[in-house]
Amino acid sequence: MTSESPKVSKEEIAAVKAQGFLHNRGGKTFSGRILTVNGRLTAEQVIGLAEAARKFGSGQVSFTTRLNIEIPGLAYEKIPAFKAELAAHGLTTGGTGPKVRPVLSCKGGICQNGLFDTFGLAREIFERFVMGCRDLVLPNKFKIGVGGCPNNCAKPDLNDAGITGQMKPSLNEEACKKCRSCQKSCPAEAVALADDRPVIDEARCIKCGHCVRACPAEAMTGRFSYKLFLGGRWGRLTRPGQPLSRDFADREDVLAALEKAIRFFADNGLKGERISGVIARLGFDKVEDSLLS
């Protein structure tokens, strides 16, 4: 059962909000927001969360749109003990305020369409920028999404910064057996036959890598790269992110560009402004030049 605290002051509400505890409307309790790092928990952590919800909260566990977890019904005076219980399971709270927010990732590493380990990249982003930049105060929130392929299931391009994986195909004509497996597997119908050989329509190709995986002769090969989007947002003001003109073959290079984007936002954003507003005000070319120079 939920036990409500005595009246909590506005200062106390603001102080615990900065730690990831949100005041429940119409009551005197709080919801603790637990960071899942990359949307994935161990079985032991799930059991520990369930026990913490029963012991300190209302006994309920809810999930946020960014694959983090909230436990409602926490009395103010129980917050320190609740945090200690989470720490014993390797968990922490947060994800509020004008900071780099928790990372939203698809399951690309284990998905049949995934082109890379999205969970691994999301964890590295979390450690370097969510936790590593915890003391960096930004003009507003900064959300990051990671998608494993051009299907965009996690909608990374609707985040302040989004990273997707892509595979650009090319054909070794000498090795091609003309089996048409690449043509049959292409969801965008970007592979056609000309003079009995496959031809890739660059304008239609979505760089999903299906044709590369389907080729039994390994005649269709692919070049993997990361695409970085900036300035997306979802909600009251919806805006798709714009991709940088350069793709990144190396993981460290795309992370370096992401870090520059965060620093650029910190240095050039106005209070309350999202990075989409910075781009609209300064122009995408100026922002891109700063990141790629």
Q: How confident is the model at residue 4 (pLDDT cuts 50, 70, 90)?
A: low
Domain that includes residue 20, residue range: 10-87
One-letter amino acid at 127 equals E
Q: What is the pLDDT of residues 171-207, one digit of tens each?
A: 998 999 989 999 999 999 999 988 888 899 999 999 9
Indicate whether 203 belongs to any domain.
yes
Query: pTM, whole model, 2 decimals?
Result: 0.91
Contact 287, 278 (CB under 8 A): yes
* pLDDT 10s digits, 9-60: 889 999 999 999 999 987 789 999 999 999 999 999 999 999 999 999 999 9
Distance between terminal CA atoms of the chain? Answer: 57
CB 146 within 8 A of CB 126: no
- Give how many domains the chain has, as a whole number: 3
Residue 97: inside a domain: no
Instruction: Identify the band that residue 101 occupies on the pLDDT scale cut at 50, 70 and 90.
Output: very high
Report the mean per-residue pLDDT for the chain: 93
Mean pLDDT of 149-166: 96
The last residue of a domain, from among 224, 243, 268: 224
Query: Within this chain, do residues 114 and 66 fall inside the same structural domain, yes or no?
Result: no
Question: CA separation (Å) from 204 to 112, 162, 186, 189?
Answer: 22, 22, 10, 7
Residue 39 shares a structural domain with residue 80: yes
